[in-house]
A and B are shown apart, each in its own frame.
Chain A
Amino acid sequence: MGQISFKSVGKTYAGGVTAVSDVTLDVAEGEFIVLVGPSGCGKSTLLRMVAGLEEITDGEIDIAGRVVNRLDPADRDIAMVFQNYALYPHMTVKENMAYGLKNRRTPKAEIEARVAEAARMLELQPYLDRKPRALSGGQRQRVAMGRAIVRQPAAFLFDEPLSNLDAKLRVSMRMEIRKLQRRIGTTSLYVTHDQLEAMTLADRLVVLNGGKVEQIGKPLEVYHRPASTFVASFIGSPAMNLLDARVEGGQVWLGGAAMGPAGRAEGPVTLGIRAEDLRPAPASQGVALKVEHVEELGSGRVVHGHVDGQALAVSMAPGLPIGDVLHVGAAPEALHLFDTTTGRRIETRTRAAELVL
Chain B
Amino acid sequence: MMQRLKPFDHLILILGALFLCMPVVMAFASSTHTAIDIHSNGLYVTPGSNGAETYTKVLTQRGGFTGEVTGLTMLMNSMILGVGFAVGKIVLSMMAAYALVYFRFRFATPIFWVIFTTLLLPLEVRIMPSYQVMSELKLLNTYQGLIVPLLASATGTFFFRQFFKSVPDELLEAARIDGAGPVKFFIDILVPLSRTMMAAIFIIMFIYGWNQYLWPMLMTTDESFFTLMRGIKTILQVWVGSQIPDYNEAFALAVLAMVPPLVVVLVFQRMFIKGLTESDK
A79 in the interface (beta carbon within 8 A) = yes
- The residue in chain B whose Cβ has the minimal distance to the Cβ of A79 is B177
Q: Mark B170-202, 1 if CB is under 8 A from A, else 0.
A: 110111111110001000110011010000000
When distances are taken between beta carbons in the complex, the residues of chain A under 8 Å from B7 are none
| Bound complex: CA A147 to CA B170 (Å) | 14
Instruction: Find chain B residues with CB under 8 A from A52 CB.
Output: 176-177
Structural contact, B195 and A73, CB atoms closer than 8 A: no
Q: How many residues of B contact A (CB 8 A)?
A: 17
B193 lies within 8 A of A89 (CB):
yes
Within 8 A of A (CB), among B138-183: 168, 170-171, 173-180
Quote the shortest CB–CB distance from B106 to chain A (angstroms). 14
Whether A86 sits at the interface, judged by CB under 8 Å, is yes
Give chain A nearest CB distance to B60 CB in angstroms: 45
How many angstroms from the CA of A90 to the CA of B168 in the assembled complex?
14
| A169 interface hit (Cβ, 8 Å) | no
Residue A330, interface by CB 8 Å: no
Rounded to whole angstroms, the CA-CA distance of A87 and B195 in the bound complex is 17
* CB <8 Å contact, B173 and A53: yes
How far, in angstroms, from A83 to B184 measured CA to CA in the complex? 24
Answer whether A88 and B177 are a contact pair too, CB < 8 Å, given A99-B188, A103-B184.
no
Partner of A53, one of B168, B176, B195: B176
B177 A90 Cβ-Cβ under 8 A: no
Could you tell me if A90 and B195 are in contact, using CB atoms closer than 8 angstroms? yes
Find chain A residues with CB under 8 A from B180 CB. 74, 99, 103
A82-B170, A86-B168, A88-B171 known; A73 vs B176 contact (CB < 8 Å): yes
- Note all chain A residues with C-beta closer than 8 A to B177: 51-52, 73-74, 78-80, 100
A100 in contact with B178 given A82-B170, A90-B192 (CB within 8 Å): yes
Residues of B within 8 A of A100 (CB): 177-179
Chain A stretch 86-139: residues in CB contact (< 8 A) with chain B: 86-90, 99-100, 103-104
Please give the distance in Å from A96's CB to the nearest CB on chain B: 9
Question: Is B168 within 8 A of A84, CB to CB?
Answer: yes
A72 located at the interface, meaning its Cβ lies under 8 Å from any Cβ of chain B in the complex: yes
Instruction: Specify which chain B residues have a CB less than 8 angstroms from the CB of A103 in the assembled complex.
Output: 178-180, 184
Complex: how many Å from CA A147 to CA B178? Answer: 9
B194 CB to nearest A CB, Å: 10
Residue of A nearest to B191 (CB): A90
A87 to B178, CA, bound (A): 11
Residues of B within 8 A of A72 (CB): 176
A88 engages B189 (CB within 8 Å)? yes
Chain A contacts of B168 at CB under 8 A?
84, 86
Which of these, A82, A90, A104, contacts B174 with CB under 8 Å?
A: A82
B193–A74 contact, CB under 8 A? no
* A86 in contact with B173 given A99-B178, A100-B179, A103-B179 (CB within 8 Å): yes
- Residues B192 and A74 in contact, CB atoms below 8 Å apart: no
B170 engages A86 (CB within 8 Å): yes
Chain B nearest CB: distance from A91 CB in Å?
8
CB atoms of A74 and B170 under 8 A apart:
no
Alpha-carbon distance between A337 and B256 when the two chains are bound, in angstroms: 88
Closest 6 CB pairs of A and B: A100-B178, A86-B170, A103-B179, A74-B179, A86-B174, A90-B192
Residues of B within 8 A of A (CB): 168, 170-171, 173-180, 184, 188-189, 192-193, 195
In the complex, besides A83-B170, A87-B174, A103-B180, 6 extra interface pairs with C-beta distance below 8 angstroms are: A51-B173, A74-B178, A85-B170, A99-B188, A103-B179, A104-B179
16 A-B residue pairs with Cβ-Cβ distance under 8 Å, sorted by A, are A52-B176, A53-B173, A72-B176, A74-B177, A78-B177, A80-B177, A82-B173, A84-B168, A86-B170, A87-B174, A88-B175, A90-B195, A100-B177, A100-B178, A100-B179, A103-B179
